[in-house]
Amino acid sequence: MYRPLVLVFLLVPQLSTGRPKKRHAKIKPVPAAALTLKLESVNLPQARAQVLITGLRRAPEPRYFVFRDERARRFIALDLHCEPVGRALRCTLDLPRPYLRAKIVALTLEMGHRSVAADDVARFFGPASSDQLPAATTDHPELPVPVEEEPEKE
């Protein structure tokens, strides 16, 4: 009893208009600009690196910047500050201080399916030397630092 009514309600909207349904025009995607990454400078005492990025409209998240050392360990930037320079972005990355002692060999910007590596990264980081690295800081400088004494030989 209800079957004929269901069929009528399903067919009536299509028969009543008399004209075909409008189809929306396909939106053509805008081709993405070539993504490039250039390491401009590294300041080890302040634990900062400056990079120039082209092919992006806005600043990426700091976790997309991946550093690799000679032991293939990966670590990411802590913070990111960007400013536009023409069609490029100049960004300052805050680096994690514990990893500054490692010899960095690669810097990559990994954003989903897009990935680009910076050239000549080892030249900026080079072999880590103790005079370039920041001094260790303590939370309580007024506390005395324990000094280990050598045992006396008899």
Beta strands in the chain (DSSP E): 36-43, 48-54, 65-69, 74-76, 79-85, 88-94, 104-111, 114-117
- What CA–CA distances, in Å, run from 63 to 75, 95, 96, 137? 9, 11, 12, 25
User: So what's the pLDDT on residue 1?
Assistant: 53
Confidence tier at 7 by pLDDT (50, 70, 90): low
CATH, range 36-125: 2.60.40
Q: Inform me whether the pLDDT recorded for 93 exceeds 70.
A: yes
Tell me which of 135 and 92 has the higher pLDDT.
Answer: 92
Tell me which of 132 and 27 has the higher pLDDT.
Answer: 27
Domain spans in the chain, listed from the N-terminal domain onward: 36-125
Distance CA 49, CA 44 (A): 8
User: So what's the pLDDT on residue 140?
Assistant: 45
| pLDDT tens digits along 28-43 | 555 567 889 999 999 8
| pLDDT tens digits along 69-89 | 888 889 899 999 999 998 899
**What is the average pLDDT value for the chain, to the nearest integer?**
76
Does the predicted TM-score (pTM) go above 0.75?
no
Distance CA 72, CA 103 (A): 10
